[in-house]
Amino acid sequence: MGLSEEKIQSIFKETGALLHGHFVLTSGLHSDTYFQCAKVFQYPWHSELFCKEIANHFRDEKIDVVVSPAVGGIVVGQDIARLLNVRAIFTERVEGNMTLRRGFAISAGERVLVAEDVTTTGSSVQEVIETIRKKGGVVIGVASIVDRSGGNTDFDVPNYSLFQMEVHNYPPDLCPMCQSGSIPVKPGSRGLK
């Protein structure tokens, strides 16, 4: 890999995208660390740098389409697809279920790369994989900028991330920050209307 984890982490720090505090993650877990990729992606040259590494990793896989979960994965998926010269589409939650909307479709047999900005438990990515498979798509792999599970996600397909970091995550009722009286903030996109 051309990009070192130190370089990736320094970009997150210099853009203010590596946050420390008390956060509610998309998964509902609480954490003292949050990766706000949107702050990195406001600088397209950083997005291109990261996504070029991912695109190069999957270049020989004959990808037909890159699919991302909205909202966080859209920029990642778009840039990877642009670099692979393939389509980019995204899934959205409708009444709690991950689905394709806006006329997006996957044809039977299409080779799909799932792209996400940050994975923690992998539940959103797993929902995207299931959505693709129901449409007859073939999931070739999963890519993310940050895997905050420390490599503990399992998608039954190759899983590639630029940066792995095991970060403390807590169920809300066992969160030591909550127990000390801290009030968490929710910087993510789940629940946007």
Domain boundaries, the chain: 44-166
Token duo for residue 38: 């949107």
Amino acid identity for residue 137 in this structure: G
- CA distances to 6, 42, 50, 65 from 79, rounded to whole Å, are 22, 13, 9, 12
Among the ranges 20-29, 130-139, 143-152, which has the highest mean pLDDT value?
Answer: 130-139
Mean pLDDT score of the chain: 92
CATH fold for domain 44-166: Rossmann fold (3.40.50)
Query: Over the stretch 42-56, which tens digit does the pLDDT of each residue have?
Result: 999 999 999 999 999
CA neighbor of 142 nearest in space, from 85, 86, 69: 69
Query: Over the stretch 133-142, which tens digit does the pLDDT of each residue have?
Result: 999 999 999 9
Reported as type and span, the H/E element at residue 75 is helix 73-84
- CA distances to 71, 121, 126, 131, 156 from 169, rounded to whole Å, are 22, 10, 19, 27, 23
For the chain, helix (H) and strand (E) counts, in that order, are: 6, 9
Q: Judge whether residue 14 has pLDDT over 70.
A: yes
Q: Judge whether residue 192 has pLDDT over 60.
A: no
112 has which bridge partners?
65, 139
pLDDT score at 164: 87
